[in-house]
Structure 1
Amino acid sequence: MARLRYNNIDNVSTDKTLKDLRQWREERRRKKKDYTYRVPNHPPQLEYLGGNRLETTITWIGHSTFFIQYEGLNIITDPIWARRLGFEKRISEPGIPIREVPPIDLILISHSHYDHLHLNSVRKLYRTGTTLVVPAGLKRKMQRKGFGNCLEMKWWEELTVGPVKLSFVPTQHWTRRTPFDTNTSHWGGFVLEPADPDKHPPGEDGRRKLPPNLYFAGDSGFFPGFKEIGSRYKVHIALMPIGAYEPEWFMSSQHVNPEEAVQAFVDVGAELMIPMHFGTFRLADDTAREALDRMELARVAAGIAEERIRALGYGETLIVHPEERYAEK
């Protein structure tokens, strides 16, 4: 029986030929790159994070891995504490050592690529009471690996995990872990919203002080789906990839470049962007400094206020106070 294969919106292909791979390899040999810049590591606020169950916090671990505290839950996105990916060593230390991460309630997996789903990291984080959420087609594999409390989602599906409403939204990408399982599971991003806004009592002005709606974009090329996500959801904070885009003739169908990331941020209508997917592993030919510099130039060109794009260091925590910016009648 043929296995179900998943596709992108409008069947956009990310396939590359052996000729393409050889051309990239030849180009890489000729390039001279300055890899001296390192994303800074910040001492993590472990005592605060270990005791916090009220405020929304976003801590960058590295690559697409964030430790998020939201509506009282401790959440991890795309966990990868691996020291290397294939032949590529991790460039910097994870923002929080995995043994010091507070107990995790919810793990979100955007897709099955090795730089987004590291099974050994999941094993170390998973405990009784942890819920693992994966794209359609991946649940059976994860259950076979011993993660019994696993839920899978299709594009545009919603589910509630405790006090958090999750929506699984499209990206333009692909998946493979072996030569035989290409695109047998899906890929996407997540929107996080409060499941019960009424539990947040109105203030003196009659407005409810709610946590921000978060959008974790996963891994994606630039596509019209960003605008559709923005039309369906009110997004306050977008965690957006900016790296692994060079050479662009090879990567553009699957990874946004920094300018496209800024445009995607505009398209989803978010108020704040936090960049990710850069500086942790050398997955392509761009550098962290190049990605950050191009993102900054794109911000200026788009007339976006400086404070609306916040680049975190590894281990750095953004604490979001809902009374400051996010409210509903």
Structure 2
Amino acid sequence: MPRNRYYTGPARSNFDGLRFFSPGQPLPDRGFGDLWKWHRSGERAKWPRHVDVTPAIPPERTDAPRLTMVGHASVLIQVAGLNILTDPVWSDRASPVRFAGPKRVTAPGVRFDDLPKIDAVLLSHNHYDHLDLATLRRLHAAHAPLMIMPLGTDATVRRAVRGARVAVADWREAIALGEGAQVTLTPANHWSSRGLRDRRMALWSGHWIDTPKGSIWFAGDTGYGDGAIFHDIRARHGAPDVALIPIGAYAPTWFMANQHVGPEEAVQIFKDVGTRQALGIHWGTFQLTDEPREEPVELLDRALAAEGIDPDRFRAFAPGDVHASA
């Protein structure tokens, strides 16, 4: 009988006693037959081996929101005197091994040694392009941040990062950050695994950051589904001042639609949550799927134009880019 190696607890609205799931949404599970069909298609675009990046040097602290793109889903969020990292990956590969797997095309948009003192790390789930143990060890040694993550994800972190300060929560539960700020985990339509037999045994999430200086929502990885989770987020939290919304890793859509959004669906999420400003993440750093590297940027511009939305309100966030609010 299968055993959950990450989490033990009673069944709940998003957990059946063995595996987590998104209630009312299609499962993203794919078998080896689907994987073989995808990789036989031969439609994978060729990416450049390297794209130049000019790294940013962030300040030590700021009150007004300032976000700096590191790459993929890694963003440095500075707000209300706090320094927060989302899904930090400074490694060269998004992989369980150093010699194979998706390799960085862009250097980090902030050099590790240029990071300010990091107070908190927000982890969305345990996939290798989001939970990088080598980076977490470096962060713990240099900064000892509080690491906030969904149920079961902590099992991987605790084993690998001895002495780490870890806080764990379910969807819609909040964790205090201090300085009048807190993080609430938000639902996402995704999945988790670190190996072949642990699918959906740890939870996945987004993170809503509430501070006296504004609100920032990091969506994590998600498919769109029927859109219910995004309407619920708006109803519970209001409209965020800034939203970090994924726009890449969507092709082929028949394989990816239940776990990732493309630019058109990202624009729909932008509308659903009512954010004033969105930044497109999860593109252009690691080639995980078939689309050309620049296609998410082009399709985002088209989708915004079709909806009559000012492109300055939702722009693709590239490594080294900075978004600062007054």
TM-score bin, normalised by smaller chain:
0.7 to 0.9
Unaligned runs of 5+ in 2: 5-17, 95-99
Q: CA deviation at 1:138?
A: 2.0
Aligned length: 301
Note if contact 2:61-2:82 (Cα within 8 Å) is conserved in structure 1: no
Which of 177, 184, 199 in structure 2 is aligned with 1:182? 199
Q: 1:215 aligned to 2:217?
A: yes
- Computing the radius of gyration from Cα coordinates, the structure with the larger value is 1
Q: 1:121 maps to what in 2?
A: 135
Note if contact 1:132-1:147 (Cα within 8 Å) is conserved in structure 2: no
Instruction: Give the distance between the partners of 1:37 and 1:259, measured in 2 at CA.
Output: 27
Which of 234, 241, 246 in structure 2 is aligned with 1:241? 246
Instruction: Give the distance between the partners of 2:241 and 2:173, measured in 1 at CA.
Output: 20
Which of 27, 30, 41 in structure 1 is aligned with 2:53? 41
Q: 2:235 maps to what in 1?
A: 231
Q: 1:280 aligned to 2:285?
A: yes
**Could you tell me which amino acid in structure 2 is paired with residue 63 of structure 1?**
H
- What's the C-alpha RMSD, in Å, of the aligned pairs? 1.9
Q: 1:155 aligned to 2:171?
A: yes
Q: 2:90 maps to what in 1?
A: 81
Larger displacement relative to structure 2 (143-152 or 236-245) = 143-152
Which of 73, 77, 82 in structure 2 is aligned with 1:68? 77
- Counterparts of residues 1-329 of structure 1 (less than 5 Å): 2-3=3-4, 4-10=18-24, 12-27=26-41, 29=42, 31=43, 33=45, 35-36=47-48, 41-44=53-56, 46=57, 49-85=58-94, 86-127=100-141, 129-145=144-160, 146-163=162-179, 164-194=181-211, 197=212, 211-223=213-225, 224-234=228-238, 235-321=240-326
TM-score (norm 2): 0.87
Q: CA deviation at 1:51?
A: 3.0
Larger displacement relative to structure 2 (133-142 or 111-120) = 133-142
Unaligned runs of 5+ in 1: 198-210, 322-329
Give the secondary-structure state (helix, strand or coil) at the position aligned to 1:12.
coil
**Could you tell me which amino acid in structure 2 is paired with residue 58 of structure 1?**
L
Note if contact 2:124-2:130 (Cα within 8 Å) is conserved in structure 1: yes
The CA deviation string for residues 158-177 of structure 1, in whole angstroms up to 9 with x for no partner, is 12111221110000000000
Note if contact 2:208-2:216 (Cα within 8 Å) is conserved in structure 1: yes
| Distance change in 2, residues 1:191/1:257 (3 Å) | same
Instruction: Give the distance between the partners of 1:38 and 1:276, measured in 2 at CA.
Output: 18
TM-score (norm 1): 0.86
Note if contact 1:154-1:168 (Cα within 8 Å) is conserved in structure 2: yes
Instruction: Give the distance between the partners of 2:59 and 2:140, measured in 1 at CA.
Output: 17
